Structure 1
Amino acid sequence: MRRSMSLLLIAIFAGVTSAQALPGNQIPNDVKERCKADYAKLCNGVMPGGGRILACFQAHIDEVSPDCRDALSKMKN
């Protein structure tokens, strides 16, 4: 179980790192929608741009909802 969680976190971090390489650090609309509540709860006040929102999600990954984690992990594809 612990190994599975570690692998999931590695996959999510890899996806987030890849997403930070997107032009203009644009987060796809479907990810914004699925992570809206997480942003309001965990990263409210974080200024968008420069990968700051994605970094905030990384910093709070244990608190990010499963739906948002799934959306973030799919950004790498």
Structure 2
Amino acid sequence: MRIAFSVLFLATQLTANAAMAQTAAEREACKADYEKFCTGVEQGGGRIIKCLNDHLSELTPECQKVVKANSPG
């Protein structure tokens, strides 16, 4: 299950931004925040990173850094 989540999260994020380099540390930094705020979000089209960005002030500091580094603009 954990591997499936990691692969799913990575695939979603790579789809959202092809130039974005997701590391295991980045995925781990946002795992709890993803599960808390974005589990119902449909994958693809950058929707998960947008969801995390919409909750930026509520995310852990580690995840905030990942989202800021990987958000377009």
TM-score by length of 2: 0.59
1:28 aligns with one of 14, 19, 22: 22
C-alpha distance in 2, partners of 1:26/1:47?
A: 19
- Where in structure 2 are the equivalents of 1:1-77 lying within 5 Å? 20=16, 22-23=17-18, 28-29=22-23, 30-75=25-70
C-alpha distance in 2, partners of 1:70/1:34?
A: 9
| Identical counterparts, % of pairs | 36
The letter of the residue matching 1:32 is R
The letter of the residue matching 1:55 is K
Give the conservation status (yes or no) of the 8 Å contact 2:52–2:67: no
Give the conservation status (yes or no) of the 8 Å contact 2:53–2:67: no
Range 29-38 or range 47-56, more displaced: 29-38
Choose between structure 1 and 2 for higher RCO, CA contacts under 8 A separated by at least 6 residues. Answer: 1
Structure 2 stretches of 5 or more lacking a match? 1-15
**Considering only CA atoms, is the larger Rg found in Structure 1 or Structure 2?**
1
What is the RMSD computed on CA atoms of the aligned residues? 2.3
Give the conservation status (yes or no) of the 8 Å contact 2:38–2:52: yes
Q: Structure 1 55/75 Cα, relative in aligned 2: closer, same or farther at 3 Å?
A: closer
Structure 1 stretches of 5 or more lacking a match? 1-19
TM-score by length of 1: 0.57
CA deviation vs aligned residue, 1:18-74 (integer Å, no higher than 9, x gap): xx4x22x86613322210000000111112210000110111111111010122233
